């Protein structure tokens, strides 16, 4: 089984975000980075599928700055076999521009499966995986939280709003992986050592045209100060009224 | 003409609430730009019956595609249908709901059309020649403004951000044919389980009722659950102190080291509001707190605070919620 | 008995032993062990400087036709990424950086800014009285820095040199054979609360090495275990202080480094505060108190909170925001507390683990780095000889003894000790005499007892209620440390049995992270709160290594 997993280097979400001088990006001074959370489930799924199939290859593909090689190495240390780094100084806001670069890389790879995390927790677009499927004209299942592959067919499960569904698909296919599918393994020491010797190719990302731009980013307004509306059971009618008419959540 | 196409999501013969929200957003956009709103709804035979409701929410035209193989969600057939219709209809903007299905479909349609795509937006407007949309990023800690002058532009709308409102329009039904054979799709939904069998996950629940040490004992969480049941689509959470005491499982813990949630409504019961708990729920849209200590830090964050004994207030609140929700 | 009138306690009576049998393993290494030539246990300034120096020496030698060939150097770090467990003031003497990176211009070293102005104040409850800066505390030529940033930068340099950096892997035990150290075993991860393998379980890994360098930092667990196992003593017991530190974004800039003495510490406690500008409108401030204090209810975190209410600090901090919090112990016993040897068969101890801190000038980072460098030079020679026995590694001790580490510590050998029994004013007078006489006064060595043996009075202290703006409760503070510990890990703390209520009370105040709470007569322990400061390990419950990546996630400490 030959599987590609597309991963993204993302900034540490616990940092205190500050808007950079350009007003449209984050001040990344002193920031830490890691593999996007959802991509970890995709890597783990790929490793399990490869091992279950008794062989094959897991290739990591990551588009981003040269520092993304740190995250690529981590994926290799988890057990992936090789990696391709598509070098781009900045990751564009337009998912389609990214998808075009990834599709160009993946098109002739003869992959049985191309996996993505359901979304990147920084840009939160959930767009690149489905777009790659479209550009490669491959079957697509997004937000997979259950997965079984037998031969050249797969069965996936996903959770909808208030429902869930089971999906059957043929291979090759593109899947985006939701949390809960598995527990991603931690790299072990042997894996870290081995990763240093695994092949990592770098080539420039052939980004597509950028149709969408981030023109500004802002921090959310501070919450208004809290308000005590009353005491004890007597305050309940007022609470119900406010929830219905002001907050509109009832 | 700057017309807007709204993809109206239906499931099990019903329009979903998000479909009406998308209609309202589409109507506002089209009215401002002086164009029409067309709604597209696809499903099994009989789907045309949903058209009047779309008309009542502002659809000038309701495009109806009926096919037995559209009974369940059929991503490939829908992609083909919507992309083709967008192309022939010359729409300026195509609006999806940022639901699970919408977030699979919209980027795929955008890619087929080589169109600009803005996902999960909370506002959308046409300003001059550009479409401007705002989209929460970095787990909601920042909001990005996306701008595109490309046409068509595809957007998906975050559920709950646009209040569905009635707007009488012609709702002229126009039947359209699927593109290709929907029953030939490679990807098939083979089963749908209505009402998620599993309990509502904290990260998905629009309402969370959460208890802290102020609940005094594990068995008192029964009244927390009662309130959640009365609210409907609500999950129960807790603080770290509570899960450490074994009153609730660790998976229910909300906070810095537990789950980080941003529901529409968060009800904090007997929770003092340590920063580590606040970190897990501060992005909730509306926060209600009940605590007997008027000085509790949670009241600094609560939109609506009630000072009182949770064991008295909560059962009364449950009764009041049941009364208020009669008919839902 | 009313709370305030309880009998004094002696912490040592309630302190469990270090679990030597768990920390020193005679098991043969696992056949699947990861083979390294040299492993540094702890990715702080000592370990990374050592790894960098060793990698450079080997490269130079190989380039010159040497026969060492490929030497695998590893650095094990318990934090999930470098720097996350490092905390210091910090005003750094750049000497060791100069030695390690002679070709790197000053502007590229990981410092924030040179120390330009400095002030020392004596605080009273209401006033701040300027003092002349004591000679030992003069900081001309030093640089304000964040040790987190220093460590990350050193890590990048080490990585470039091919050093294997393993983050998220705490060393759990030394693997020994006879008196020789053969490597380490890492902690398992993914254990459930009962200690049984849970989901995501990863077993321990053995790492073998010809030389294991213990650079664990303050109160290193394996370092303690090794010294105890090999019965290596010191003239005086090591003394520790606890520092609690906060980083603030302020509305106003601070234009100098500031140290204060006096209030809010009781006069019978040793310590003081520091406040450094990290960047425009970002300041680091902290309070350091010797753990030989006499009041069981003395609470360093709480004292820091009270201190911020002093007009001197309040006027700078008010309206700002506390963005990061952390705590760590500091070995401050100085010269007489150094282990009589810092090497053995296949093993060396460097940095804070060996006690290379000079408390009068509040410096440790350059000593740590320099000791790592000296260890590396010794290892290089030993590898060339093919002999890593104790006799071969002994050169390290000689090198340290001849270096500025030993001479600086010797010059201030009694300064900290003067305060051990004397209190602030008498101690301060003695220290001034020592400075004037360059350590000749008082002659000989001042004898001290271990921190844990100091009797603690149970005098009542006034209650304190944090306001959540300027002052913070411990749990809120722990949140600001970025503590990422899984809630369901088994306890890594060894607490004495049947701890009396008064001792529980002592632990409650001692631990800055709210791990211990007294509930009536019971002691409640919340191990996930622990931020690895090691304070209780000195005088109370023992700290042992736990799952990798647990503990704080410091960014700019």
- Rounded to an integer, the average pLDDT of C69-97 is 96
pLDDT above 50: residue B139: yes
pLDDT above 60: residue C310: yes
Q: How far is the CA of C376 from the CAs of B199, C48, C54, C373, in angstroms? A: 58, 10, 5, 5
Angle at A75 between CA A73 and CA A81, to 5 degrees: 90
> For residue B181, how far is the Cα from the chain centroid?
31
Q: What is the pLDDT of residue A2?
A: 98
| 3-state secondary structure at position B209 | strand
- C neighbours by CB contacts (3+ pairs under 8 Å): A, B
pLDDT above 70: residue C439: no
pLDDT above 80: residue B311: yes
Interchain pair A189, C200: CB under 8 A: no
Q: In 3D, which of B106, B119, B122 has the Cα closest to residue B283?
A: B122
The answer for C 299-358 residues in CB contact with B (under 8 A) is none
Interchain pair A14, C81: CB under 8 A: no
Tokens of A65: 């700055």
For the ranges A237-246, B140-149, C32-41, C483-492, the one whose mean pLDDT is highest: C32-41
Q: What is the pLDDT of residue C476?
A: 86
The phi, psi pair for B174, rounded to 5°, reads -130, 120
Tokens of C302: 């709480």
| Residues C468 and C540 sit within 8 Å (Cβ to Cβ) | no
Strands A228-231 and C197-202: unpaired
Tokens of B300: 């600094």
Q: How confident is the model at residue C111 (pLDDT cuts 50, 70, 90)?
A: very high
Tokens of C357: 């801190």
pLDDT above 60: residue B327: no
pLDDT above 90: residue B80: yes
Interchain pair A240, B197: CB under 8 A: no
Q: In 3D, which of B177, B162, B165, B174 has the Cα closest to residue B53?
A: B165
Interface mutation target, options C555, C556, C557, chain A, most CBs of A under 10 Å: C555
The phi, psi pair for A15, rounded to 5°, reads -70, 160
- Chain B residues whose CB is inside 8 A of the C473 CB are 274
Of the candidates C473, C480, C484, which has its C-beta nearest B257's C-beta?
C484
Measure the CA–CA gap between C263 and B242, rounded to whole angstroms: 38
Interchain pair A130, B307: CB under 8 A: no
Q: Is the pTM of this model over 0.90?
A: no
Measure the CA–CA gap between A82 and A78, rounded to whole angstroms: 11
Contacts of C275-279 spanning 24+ positions with Cβ under 8 A: C275/C313, C275/C316, C276/C89, C276/C90, C276/C91, C276/C144, C277/C113, C277/C144, C277/C253, C278/C112, C278/C144, C278/C146, C278/C247, C278/C556, C279/C112
Q: How far is the CA of C73 from the CAs of B101, C100, C346, C384, C445, in angstroms? A: 51, 17, 14, 15, 40
Q: How many CA atoms lie within 13 A of C245 on its CB side?
A: 29
Interchain pair B303, A233: CB under 8 A: no
Interface mutation target, options B146, B231, B271, B325, chain A, most CBs of A under 10 Å: B146
Q: In 3D, which of B231, C95, B163 has the Cα closest to residue A240?
A: B231
- Rounded to an integer, the average pLDDT of C35-60 is 98
Strands B10-11 and B14-15: antiparallel
- Chain A residues whose CB is inside 8 A of the C33 CB are none
Measure the CA–CA gap between C208 and C68, rounded to whole angstroms: 18
Among chain C residues, CA nearest to A34: C81
Interchain pair C205, A192: CB under 8 A: no
Q: How many CA atoms lie within 13 A of B127 on its CB side?
A: 10
- Rounded to an integer, the average pLDDT of B59-76 is 97
| 3-state secondary structure at position C48 | helix
| Residues C275 and C258 sit within 8 Å (Cβ to Cβ) | yes
Q: What is the pLDDT of residue C75?
A: 98
DSSP per-residue string spanning C74-142: EEEESSSSTTTT-----EE-THHHHHH-TTS-GGGSS-SEE---EEEEEE-SS-EEEEPPPGGG--TT-
Chain B closest-CA separation from residue A194 CA (Å): 32
Contacts of B128 (CB under 8 A, 6+ apart): none
Size (chain B), residues: 328
Interchain pair B75, A125: CB under 8 A: no
pLDDT above 50: residue C2: no
Q: How far is the CA of B262 from the CAs of A146, B18, B293, in angstroms? A: 25, 18, 25
pLDDT above 60: residue C41: yes
Q: How confident is the model at residue B1 (pLDDT cuts 50, 70, 90)?
A: low
Measure the CA–CA gap between A15 and A17, rounded to whole angstroms: 6
- Looking at C391-541, which runs of residues are DSSP E strands? 493-494, 516-519, 522-525
A173-177 β-sheet, strand order:
A140-144, A173-177, A113-117, A2-7, A57-64, A82-87, A200-204
Q: How far is the CA of C324 from the CAs of B115, C121, C249, C545, in angstroms? A: 44, 25, 10, 24
Q: Give residue-wise pLDDT tens across range A126-179.
A: 999 999 999 999 999 999 999 999 999 999 999 887 788 999 999 999 999 998
Q: What is the pLDDT of residue B321?
A: 94
Measure the CA–CA gap between A90 and C173, rounded to whole angstroms: 44
Residue A174 neighbours by CB distance under 10 Å: 28
pLDDT above 80: residue B120: yes
Residue corresponding to tokens 């791990």:
C515
Q: How confident is the model at residue C509 (pLDDT cuts 50, 70, 90)?
A: very high
pLDDT above 60: residue C3: no
Interchain pair B274, C526: CB under 8 A: no
Task: Count, in order, helices (H) and strands (E) of chain C.
Answer: 15, 27
Q: Give residue-wise pLDDT tens across range C217-226.
A: 999 999 999 9
Q: In 3D, which of B140, B289, B307 has the Cα closest to residue B208?
A: B289
- Chain B residues whose CB is inside 8 A of the A240 CB are 320-321, 324
Of the candidates C468, C473, C487, which has its C-beta nearest B257's C-beta?
C487
Cα end-to-end distance, chain C, whole Å: 43
Of the candidates A139, A140, A161, which has its C-beta nearest B100's C-beta?
A161
Mean pLDDT score across all residues of chain A:
94
Size (chain C), residues: 557
pLDDT above 50: residue C19: yes
- Looking at C152-281, which runs of residues are DSSP E strands? 164-167, 171-177, 180-186, 189-191, 197-202, 206-208, 211-214, 240-249, 257-262, 271-279
Q: How confident is the model at residue C173 (pLDDT cuts 50, 70, 90)?
A: very high
Measure the CA–CA gap between C541 and B150, rounded to whole angstroms: 65
Q: What is the pLDDT of residue C471?
A: 95
The phi, psi pair for C517, rounded to 5°, reads -135, 135
Q: How confident is the model at residue B163 (pLDDT cuts 50, 70, 90)?
A: confident
Q: What is the pLDDT of residue B285?
A: 87
Residue B232 neighbours by CB distance under 10 Å: 13
Lowest mean pLDDT: which of C193-197, C383-387, C393-397? Answer: C193-197
Q: What is the pLDDT of residue C424?
A: 67
Q: Give residue-wise pLDDT tens across range C351-389.
A: 999 999 998 888 999 999 999 999 999 999 999 999 999
Contacts of B96 (CB under 8 A, 6+ apart): B7, B9, B22, B102, B103, B105, B106, B109, B154, B155, B156, B157
Q: Give residue-wise pLDDT tens across range C298-307.
A: 999 999 999 9
Q: Give residue-wise pLDDT tens across range C76-89.
A: 999 999 999 999 99
Q: Give residue-wise pLDDT tens across range B192-244.
A: 987 644 467 786 688 999 999 999 999 999 999 999 999 988 999 999 889 87
Among chain B residues, CA nearest to A223: B301
Q: In 3D, which of B228, B278, B230 has the Cα closest to residue B258?
A: B278
Measure the CA–CA gap between A151 and B258, rounded to whole angstroms: 38
- Rounded to an integer, the average pLDDT of A229-242 is 95
Contacts of C529 (CB under 8 A, 6+ apart): C474, C475, C478, C483, C485, C513, C514, C515
Q: What is the pLDDT of residue B49?
A: 96
Measure the CA–CA gap between A74 and A80, rounded to whole angstroms: 9
- Chain C residues whose CB is inside 8 A of the A181 CB are none
Q: How far is the CA of C59 from the CAs of B57, C71, C373, C382, in angstroms? A: 74, 9, 15, 16
Q: In 3D, which of C109, C113, C106, C119 has the Cα closest to residue C91?
A: C113
Measure the CA–CA gap between B312 and B220, rounded to whole angstroms: 11
DSSP per-residue string spanning C295-320: BTT--HHHHHHHHHTSHHHHHHHTT-
Task: Count, in order, helices (H) and strands (E) of chain B.
Answer: 9, 18
> For residue C227, how far is the Cα from the chain centroid?
17
Q: Give residue-wise pLDDT tens across range A67-100.
A: 999 999 999 999 999 999 999 999 999 999 999 9
Q: What is the pLDDT of residue C418?
A: 80
- B neighbours by CB contacts (3+ pairs under 8 Å): A, C
The conformation of residue C358, written as its DSSP 8-state character, comes to B
Angle at C273 between CA C267 and CA C279, to 5 degrees: 170
Q: Give residue-wise pLDDT tens across range B244-269.
A: 788 998 778 898 666 778 888 999 99
pLDDT above 90: residue B160: no
Interchain pair B306, A159: CB under 8 A: no
Residue C406 contacts B where some CB pair is shorter than 8 Å: no
Task: Count, in order, helices (H) and strands (E) of chain A.
Answer: 6, 14
Interchain pair A193, C164: CB under 8 A: yes
C90: left (phi over 0), alpha (psi -120 to 50) or beta: beta
pLDDT above 80: residue B271: yes
Interchain pair B275, C479: CB under 8 A: yes
Residue corresponding to tokens 């949140």:
C479
The phi, psi pair for B199, rounded to 5°, reads -70, 150
Q: In 3D, which of B208, B225, B226 has the Cα closest to residue B319?
A: B226
Tokens of B26: 């589409």
Q: What is the pLDDT of residue B190?
A: 96
């Amino acid at each position: 089984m030959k599987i590609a997993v597309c991963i993204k280097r993302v900034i540490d979400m616990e940092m205190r975000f500050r808007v950079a001088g350009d007003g449209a990006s984050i001040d990344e001074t002193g920031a830490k980075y890691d593999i996007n959370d959802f991509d970890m489930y995709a890597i783990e799924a790929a490793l399990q599928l490869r091992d279950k199939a008794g062989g094959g290859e897991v290739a990591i593909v990551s588009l981003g700055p040269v520092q993304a090689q740190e995250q690529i190495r981590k994926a290799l240390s988890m057990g992936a076999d090789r990696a391709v780094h598509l070098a781009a100084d900045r990751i564009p806001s337009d998912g389609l521009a990214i998808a075009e670069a990834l599709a160009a890389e993946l098109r002739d790879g003869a992959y049985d499966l191309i996996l993505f995390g359901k979304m990147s927790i920084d840009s939160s677009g959930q767009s690149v995986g489905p777009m790659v499927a479209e550009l490669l004209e491959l079957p697509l299942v997004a937000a997979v939280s259950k997965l079984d592959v037998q031969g050249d067919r797969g069965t996936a499960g996903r959770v909808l709003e208030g429902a869930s569904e089971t999906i059957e698909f043929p291979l090759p296919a593109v899947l985006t992986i939701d949390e809960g599918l598995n527990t991603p393994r931690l790299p072990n020491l042997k894996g870290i050592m081995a990763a240093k010797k695994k092949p990592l190719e770098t080539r420039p990302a052939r980004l597509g045209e950028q149709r969408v731009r981030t023109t500004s980013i802002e921090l959310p307004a501070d919450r208004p100060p809290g308000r005590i509306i009353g005491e004890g059971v007597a305050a309940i009618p007022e609470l119900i009224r406010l929830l219905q008419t002001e907050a509109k959540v009832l | 003409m700057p017309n807007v196409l709204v993809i109206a999501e239906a499931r099990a013969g019903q329009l979903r609430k998000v479909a009406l929200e998308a209609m309202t957003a589409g109507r506002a956009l089209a009215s401002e730009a002086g164009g029409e709103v067309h709604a597209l709804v696809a499903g099994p035979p009989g789907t045309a019956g949903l058209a009047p409701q779309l008309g009542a929410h502002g659809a000038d035209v309701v495009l109806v595609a009926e096919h037995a193989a559209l009974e369940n969600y059929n991503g490939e057939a829908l992609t083909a249908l919507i992309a083709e219709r967008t192309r022939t209809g010359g729409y300026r903007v195509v609006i999806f709901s940022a639901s699970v299905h919408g977030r699979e479909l919209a980027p795929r349609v955008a890619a087929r059309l080589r169109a600009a795509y803005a996902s999960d937006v909370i506002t959308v407007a046409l300003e001059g020649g550009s479409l401007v949309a705002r989209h929460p990023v970095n787990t909601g800690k920042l909001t990005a403004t996306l701008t595109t002058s490309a046409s068509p532009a595809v957007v998906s709308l975050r559920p709950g951000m646009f209040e569905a409102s009635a707007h009488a329009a012609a709702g002229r039904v126009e039947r359209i044919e699927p593109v290709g054979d929907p029953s030939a799709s490679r990807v098939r939904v083979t089963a749908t389980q209505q009402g998620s069998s599993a309990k509502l996950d904290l990260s998905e629940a629009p309402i969370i009722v959460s208890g802290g040490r102020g609940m005094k004992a594990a068995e008192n969480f029964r009244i927390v659950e009662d309130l959640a049941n009365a609210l409907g689509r609500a999950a129960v959470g807790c603080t770290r102190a509570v899960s450490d005491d074994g009153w609730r499982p660790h998976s229910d813990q909300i906070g810095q080291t537990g789950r980080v949630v941003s529901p529409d409504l968060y009800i904090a019961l007997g929770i003092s509001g340590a920063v580590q708990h606040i970190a897990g729920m501060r992005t909730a849209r509306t926060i209600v707190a009940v605590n007997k200590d008027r000085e509790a830090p949670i009241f600094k964050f609560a939109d609506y605070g009630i000072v009182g004994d949770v064991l008295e207030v909560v059962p009364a609140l449950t009764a009041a919620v049941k009364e208020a929700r009669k008919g839902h | 008995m009313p709370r305030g009138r309880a009998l004094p306690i002696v912490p040592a009576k309630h302190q469990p032993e270090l679990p030597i049998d768990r920390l020193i393993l005679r098991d043969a290494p696992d056949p699947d062990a990861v083979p390294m030539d040299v492993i540094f246990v702890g990715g702080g300034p000592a370990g990374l400087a050592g790894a960098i120096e060793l990698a450079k020496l080997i490269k130079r030698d190989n380039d010159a036709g040497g026969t060492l060939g490929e030497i695998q150097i590893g650095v094990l770090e318990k934090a999930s990424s470098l720097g996350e467990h490092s905390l210091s003031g910090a005003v750094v003497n750049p000497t060791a950086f100069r030695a390690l990176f002679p070709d790197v211009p000053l502007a590229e070293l990981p410092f924030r800014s040179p120390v330009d102005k400095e002030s020392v104040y004596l605080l009273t409850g209401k006033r701040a009285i300027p003092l002349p800066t004591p000679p030992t505390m003069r900081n001309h030529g030093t640089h304000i820095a964040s040790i987190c940033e220093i460590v990350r930068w050193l890590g990048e340099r080490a990585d470039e040199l091919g050093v294997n950096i393993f983050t998220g892997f705490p060393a759990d035990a030394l693997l020994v054979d006879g008196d020789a150290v053969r490597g380490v075993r890492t902690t398992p991860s993914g254990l459930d609360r009962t200690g049984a393998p849970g989901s995501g379980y990863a077993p321990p890994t053995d790492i073998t090495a010809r030389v294991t360098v213990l650079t664990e930092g303050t109160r290193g667990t394996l370092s303690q275990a090794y010294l105890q196992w090999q019965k290596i003593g010191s003239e005086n017991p090591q003394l520790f202080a606890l520092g609690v530190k906060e980083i603030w974004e302020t509305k106003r800039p601070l234009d100098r480094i500031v140290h204060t003495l006096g209030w809010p510490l009781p006069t019978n406690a040793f310590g003081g505060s520091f406040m450094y500008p990290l960047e425009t409108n970002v300041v680091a401030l902290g309070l350091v108190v010797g753990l030989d204090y006499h009041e069981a209810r003395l609470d360093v975190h709480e004292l820091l909170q009270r201190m911020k209410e002093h007009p001197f600090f309040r006027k700078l901090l008010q309206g700002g925001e506390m963005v990061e919090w952390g705590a760590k112990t500091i070995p401050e016993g100085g010269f007489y507390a150094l282990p009589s040897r810092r090497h053995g068969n296949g093993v060396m101890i460097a940095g804070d683990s060996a006690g290379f801190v000079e408390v009068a000038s509040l410096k440790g980072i350059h000593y740590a780095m320099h000791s790592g460098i000296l260890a590396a030079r010794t290892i290089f020679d030993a590898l060339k000889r093919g002999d890593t026995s104790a006799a071969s590694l002994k050169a390290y001790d000689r090198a340290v003894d001849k270096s500025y580490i030993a001479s600086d510590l010797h010059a201030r050998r009694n300064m900290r000790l003067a305060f051990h029994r004397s209190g602030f004013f008498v101690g301060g007078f003695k220290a001034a005499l020592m400075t004037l006489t360059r350590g000749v006064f008082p002659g000989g060595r001042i004898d001290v007892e271990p921190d844990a043996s100091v009797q603690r009075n149970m005098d009542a202290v006034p209650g304190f209620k944090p306001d959540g703006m300027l002052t913070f409760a411990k749990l809120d503070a722990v949140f600001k440390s970025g503590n990422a510990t899984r809630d369901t890990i088994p306890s890594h703390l060894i607490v004495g049995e049947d701890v009396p209520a008064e001792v529980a009370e002592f632990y409650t105040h001692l631990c800055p992270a709210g791990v211990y709470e007294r509930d009536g007569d019971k002691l409640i322990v919340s191990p996930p709160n622990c931020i690895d400061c090691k304070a209780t390990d000195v005088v109370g419950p023992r700290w042992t290594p736990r799952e990798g990546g647990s503990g704080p996630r410091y960014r700019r400490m």
